Amino acid sequence: MRKNRWRTSALGLLLLTTLTQCFTDKQNEGQRLYAANCQSCHMEDGSGLRSLIPPLAGADYLQQHRQQLPCLTRHGIEGPMVVNGIEYNRAMPGAEQLGTDEITNLLNYIQTNFGNSNPRYTMQEVEQLLEPCPPHHN
């Protein structure tokens, strides 16, 4: 009886450890995607770069343009934008290689970090917002 209980406990602990690692990896995916795709311009702390690149930290743009953020992330943006009352006019490249799940994780990281406490996206929401979003051709 004790042997079976020990085996069951060991198996449960192994499964729990494995599942925890899976969730932990996914949980940090947004942060990894940010570091790989956004951090070189928007900085590690989301502060942007003076008057050249807008901040993501405490950015009113994230709330005011929620519907456009998935498309902006995938295809980039050109032309002027106003963030926290300051106009920026520098092209941002898109991350065309990112899948819907990655864009969702990336946006959720940005929406809930850098002093932001905006609502999270669902994958279905991002998918719907990307549908009418054609790539920009110059």
CA distance 91 to 77: 6
Q: What angle do CA 56, 77, 26 make, to 5 degrees?
A: 50
Question: Strands, E, within the chain: which ranges?
Answer: 81-83, 86-88
pLDDT above 70 for 5: no
Token digits for 103? Answer: 């864009």
How many other C-beta atoms can be found within 10 angstroms of the C-beta atom of residue 73? 26
**Which pLDDT does position 134 carry in this prediction?**
74
| Span 28-78, pLDDT tens digits | 899 999 999 999 999 999 999 988 999 999 999 999 999 999 999 999 999
| Span 87-105, pLDDT tens digits | 999 999 999 999 999 999 9
Q: Which domains does the chain have, with CATH numbers?
A: 25-130 (1.10.760.10)
